[in-house]
Chain A
């Protein structure tokens, strides 16, 4: 099984360009936050410029742009001054109720559209990078830690773009993409592993089943964790406003979805990811039974997957327990994600176990 080093290099190049595009997207998102206090009228005028045709590189970008035009139209009615706040509040209320087409009504700035286009283009290259890596090694591209990290982050960006299309919380972009850039940057530098064949233990079709599930779930949990962090800030802001206290960054939170909405989206991501994680653990157990003769052996990685599962189960239960909803539940979710991260980084690198496939020495 010869490995195609040419394809593997191509994959590296794709991913480096993807990181560059993502970084530019982060800069654009950040610039929008810093300088994007434009009036909605100007935004609309810009949004209707024909640059949609130029910028629409991929289907995802086109979808986002289409949405943005519709949004700008919707804000037309009560655009000026305080009317904007009002329509936004109404939008949030409607979004909380979840009626169709009741997404938040914030106008989309030029910078955000650039950022979204860059993100989508970066995602296309990211996917291409993952696929070429898989082609280079003739298998699913998650056989070592580097491959796992690039795949997980790919799922996270994919999920993020999906959220953008479905719920349009454009101003969350900075919070999503900044960690992605850091993770991918680390993947390229610290944990980079050249393409290579699998050790015999990994040579099983269960690799495709078990690790795919874990990759999907991890990427989605990552999105949920970012939402939880933003939620915690937004919730604090909401409380301070309700208490009549002054808050900094009020402008920022006005643009973000409401705390309640963030909480709900975060919950939905966990509800989506938790069964996949459960399935992934089960598939791993079946594989362990095939490979090592026991379906559960408290190997460190298994233990931490279990801990992660238990903590997310806590989150799901806390969400329906009085006194634990809201902030506490969000903290539990973050603890769950911290466990997941520790499993991915800490256990793989520092604890020797049967899952020591990181490919790092």
Chain B
């Protein structure tokens, strides 16, 4: 806060004037604010720390500051969508580091790879919500108070109001006022009567809606925080025919909330029995997936009843509040490796990761640390539907119609015993030598015999895998309720207008009663009060002709709609 302007230092911390100038949000805008008149430089001591604090608080809760903060929030979100984000796609961030080695560390220093968790992003929305709270909470108090206050007395000259009308009545002034009050009461106006006048006000729900909307936004933020503290997210890749239990060690990725410990995980376990995928087989969108069905069985806790379910996209499984989603799928070719000593040292499915979606060409590596005399490593691709395109093997369909693998073989040191932990999807070739094997795609059952008696690799078949997202978010339901409340508040504040109607009746020069009607919309930025007033004035005129005509004319008068 570099306060160049002198704080006004109002002794009472005068509340925002509840006048027509206050915006829809009730914040003092710059016309309503006293505008910080510069005091003579000779009295700097008249406002101390408290004065500055008050001035700062007024600045923070002013509409202009809120506007600027809103803008900042929008602008600050932009890099989060243009740069890869750690929380969304960590591999894209790594890719960015490789392609922009000079720039990336600087961006990282500014948290630009993690914008939505960055301190400066949090600073913006916390300031915004503080500004909001500083405006909304005093306002709630005022609303509660004003809900019990009757409208102000009618002004003397109603013709000066933005809307006004005049008609004559055959009734005497008191009866004409009674008739008008009756009309307004039936329209749910709040009334106050005095000597020769009636004041009426309506549309308090607009204020209420406004408050509900902004408070609901605060509640939404709290719900998000609740999820961030007590929720968790995890990923797990599951090959057909295998199981896993929901424990930290069994999960591939685990992102706990700040207050989640490993013992808080719901102790379910799940088995993938079968997985099927169907694809469009002809036409321009051939190869596009149509459906994924993962047939799983699970128990909510060890020893519990086994349940069966069909896990599909858009149809997660809910186990004790934890939800399990299918978010990906792929192939896991099964390899058997015999080492130089003739022993089978490896026989299992290896998940390969799809590198393109149209044909599901998938890449992966096989690491055989137990092979002797040398460790063995293989890197290659799995092609579900292999076709020869000009001498190059490609997969032209995602279903396994003609599965082939093509592997490059290495021997030497896999480097798994030392150094940083390795990814299971990449091979560190620093300590390996590539073996001179003629590249040959393998069909199921075929083998590569490695030169120098290093061993044999056999492609024995394939299985499918699915990747699961496991999420627990206790803030979910509160967030939904807050969202719905925000929407309801928004609609109320948009489509209800707060307005006052005044009626004065007095004897005219010719003895007939003159009725003046005046109207004032206190918040009507979209316009439309004029129409309502015109209709209302017409109804009031009809009503003032006497009780005999009042009832039928009320029901037939158009344009007098009330909310």
The residues of A with any CB-CB pair to B shorter than 8 Å are: 1, 3, 96-100, 194, 196-197, 199-201, 203-204, 206, 264, 267-268, 271, 274-275, 278-279, 282, 285-287, 289-300, 303-304, 306-307, 310-311, 313-314, 316-324, 339, 347, 351
Contact = CB atoms under 8 A, between A and B. Distances in A.
B178 interface: no
A291 B313 contact: yes
A107 to B, nearest CB: 24
B224 A296 contact: yes
In the A-B complex, the 6 residue pairs with the smallest Cβ-Cβ separation, listed nearest first, are A320-B23, A196-B285, A98-B530, A300-B81, A303-B81, A293-B471
A220 to B, nearest CB: 14
A97 B550 CA distance: 28
Contact of B88 (A98, A298, A316, A317): A298
10 contacts: A196-B288, A268-B526, A286-B480, A287-B314, A292-B327, A297-B88, A310-B70, A314-B74, A317-B70, A322-B30
Looking at chain B, what size class is its interface with the partner chain?
A: 35 or more
Most buried by A among B116, B312, B526: B526
Interface string B208-244: 0000000000000000100000000100000000000
A200 B289 contact: yes
B314 A321 contact: no
Interface stretch (B59-67, B150-158, B398-406, B509-517): B59-67
A200 B73 contact: no
Interface stretch (B6-14, B458-466, B486-494): B486-494
B197 interface: no
A321 B486 contact: no
Contacts of A196: 280, 283-285, 288
Interface of B: 21, 23-25, 27, 29-32, 63-64, 66-67, 70-71, 73-74, 77-78, 80-82, 85, 87-88, 115-116, 224, 233, 280, 283-285, 288-292, 312-316, 323, 325, 327, 469-471, 473, 476, 479-480, 483-484, 486-487, 490-491, 494, 523, 525-531, 534-535, 559
Nearest to B85: A298
B476 A295 contact: yes
Given A100-B559, A303-B77, A303-B81, A203 B313 contact: yes
A3 B480 CA distance: 36
Contacts of B233: 293-294
A319 to B, nearest CB: 6
Q: Which one of B292, B469, B479, B523 has the greatest number of beta carbons of chain A within 10 Å?
A: B479
B486 A278 contact: yes
Interface of A is mostly: helix
A290 B23 contact: no
B63 A321 contact: yes
Contacts of B24: 316-317, 320
A8 to B, nearest CB: 11
A291 B526 contact: no
